[in-house]
A and B are shown apart, each in its own frame.
Chain A
Amino acid sequence: MEFVAPVLNYTLLSPILILLGGALIGVLVEAFVSKALRPITQLSVTLGSLVLALVQVWRIHNESSTSAAMSSVTIDGPGLLLQASIIIISIISVFLIADTEQFTALAAALPGSDEERHALQTGNQVTEVYPLTLFAVSGMLVFPIASDLITLFVALEMLSLPLYLMAGLSRRRRLASQESALKYFLLGAFSSAFFLFGAAFIYGFASSVTFSGIHDAIANASGNDVFLLIGIAFLSVGLLFKVGAVPFHAWSPDVYQGAPTPVTAFMAAATKVAAFGAMLRIFYTAFANAEWSWTPMLSLIAIITMVFGSLVAIAQRDVKRMLAYSSIAHAGFLLSGVIALNKAGLDASIFYLFAYGVATVGGFAIVTLVRDAAGEVTDLNRWKGLGKRSPWVASSFAFFLLAFAGIPLTSGFIGKFSIFSAAYESGATGVVIAGVLSSAIAAFFYIRVIVLMFFTDPIEDGTSVEIPSSLTQLTIVISLLVTFVLGVFPAPLLNFITNLATFLR
């Protein structure tokens, strides 16, 4: 047998390689740079490689769609758009991660031990969160472009493993943070086992691991349908877990609450883009012809997810948990884009993911600002009258909430409108009705928070609003601008997406 050397197309893979290189440099910086210079060096390396990767994505966006690395990844319009969204969201999240106050000085030390105090007093803060972020981002970049089951699985783990660790790094309420890491890890590993088992059965059906091979096998009806059904069901469990759809959502409120808020922001926004990207690709390319087998199941899950997320969010007394349930509801809205299975659904999903991701990071950036002596205040009752004490912060938060609710003049409205009209076009009327109804329910609790902030009297309990650092300010301003501009002038981005977004099969 002749050995054929693999062709790798390094230019097309360069965004991922740059980020991996940056992450490895970050590991070395952690080991060799003195503690005084470490945070600023890490921040520059991280931001530098992210910006470089974004530039590289822009440079290759005009190349014709092709597959790289022996067709284990596909570089096409949707892939590049999703990659760009992930990188932009990561950049504004890294501005938040730069706030070292949020992270434990020494993750390995026992909470409350002398070792921990000593590390804090001597300023010996470890900054491993930066390389971990870069590793996670590079996994996220591979996830939506993966076009065989092996790459998909490796990318899934590559983005998950650093996130499990990052969830446990909070400086305040360390035990809760470690607990959230444990829950995230155990449930995440459980769901990836389901994912892999599903992948095995799809391989058994198609006798090929590539998406095009699976597509052909379905088109020719050449395999055992039972294997395909088991495979799609189990594989979907893994993907639905990552996006936090009901009934696989149990981890998300706990992890959102326990993880340090900058990590929550990053995870909530970027993971969602990556996971939905992968989901869109696999359902639009590999499983497109087996529509009959997965649309009913996915429609049901979408409806349950929207309604459940919106209803449970009403009962929440904690800002981070409320945002977690709101993100569950949004996962349901986004699923209607997957169900639509048409070009409009794809375009709308990409737009929605970007708009929602940016607004989410902005929202969590505001959460980091409301503090008392013991750290962040996430209890909604103590947010009362925030609008009177710090009108700017409260108005920005109100704006992000309106964007989540999908009120006109925000990006959320355009996103919801386009995704629901795409789903309606494809005949998924039930999903659209459930979506609109649960949007109305969701608007109720968003507006309740706004009322709480602006129309109730403040209580004096030591809650204050931190003066944002310049990087946090930058995050908030960028998110506000993007959310507003996409709400008022969405056409340029929508057209850009429409022209570019076609899956290469």
Chain B
Amino acid sequence: MDAANYLYLSVLLFTIGAVGVVVRRNAIVVFMCVELMLNAANLAFVTFSRINGDLNGQVVAFFTMVVAACEVVVGLAIIVTIYRSRRSASVDDASLLKR
């Protein structure tokens, strides 16, 4: 199967993630969309690794997974604190700071 198809899939996933970040209002869902974008980038790395016949791209994918895990730790800590003090995880409700 043509490897380029995986590239199209990765662009599609990235777009879905990016649109989700912009459109959705729940912080958790926004965050999940960001994770989807990171995974789309991972898929692109692995596909390019296959196309180019070079292993570095697969190494990057592992690094990304670890970094994404760290991001989850920090992100959920922040979102949970906000949720506890506001009883809501909506991004729109958090608007104390002036626009």
Contacts and interface: CB of A to CB of B under 8 A. Distances in A.
Nearest to B36: A193
Contacts of B59: 150
Interface residues of A, number: 46
Interface in B68-92: 70-71, 74-75, 77-79, 81-82, 84-86, 91
A176 B98 CA distance: 10
A134 interface: no
A444 interface: no
B63 interface: yes
A498 interface: no
Contact of B74 (A178, A185, A257): A185
Contact of A204 (B44, B78, B86, B91): B44
Interface string A200-239: 1101100111000000000000000000000000000000
Given A186-B31, A186-B91, A209-B60, A257 B98 contact: yes
A409 interface: no
B2 interface: no
Given A153-B63, A174-B85, A193 B17 contact: yes
Given A153-B64, A154-B67, A197-B40, A203 B57 contact: yes
Contacts of B40: 197
A307 interface: no
Interface in B1-56: 7, 10, 14, 17-18, 21, 27, 30-31, 34, 37-38, 40-42, 44-45, 47-49, 51-54, 56
Contacts of A318: 98
Contacts of B30: 186
A185 B75 contact: yes
B85 A111 contact: yes
Contacts of B45: 199-200, 203
Contacts of A179: 82, 94-97
Contacts of A321: 98
A178 B82 contact: yes
B67 A157 contact: yes
A28 interface: no
A146 to B, nearest CB: 12
A174 B37 CA distance: 31
Nearest to A113: B85
A175 interface: yes
Contact of A193 (B37, B47, B63, B86): B37
A165 B74 contact: yes
A208 to B, nearest CB: 7
Contacts of B85: 110-111, 174-175, 178
A182 interface: yes
A161 B96 contact: no
B56 A203 contact: yes
Nearest to B49: A203
B34 A208 contact: no
Contacts of A108: 81
Contacts of B18: 190, 193
Q: Name the residue among B70, B81, B84 with the largest chain A CB count within 10 angstroms.
A: B81
Interface of A: 107-108, 110-111, 149-150, 153-154, 157, 161, 164-165, 168, 173-176, 178-183, 185-186, 189-190, 192-194, 196-197, 199-201, 203-204, 207-209, 253-254, 257-258, 318, 321
Closest 5 A-B residue pairs measured CB to CB?
A207-B52, A193-B37, A200-B44, A204-B48, A196-B41
Given A110-B84, A182-B91, A258-B97, 6 more contacts: A179-B97, A183-B97, A186-B21, A186-B27, A189-B31, A197-B37
12 contacts: A110-B84, A111-B85, A150-B59, A178-B85, A186-B31, A193-B17, A199-B60, A200-B44, A201-B44, A257-B97, A258-B96, A318-B98
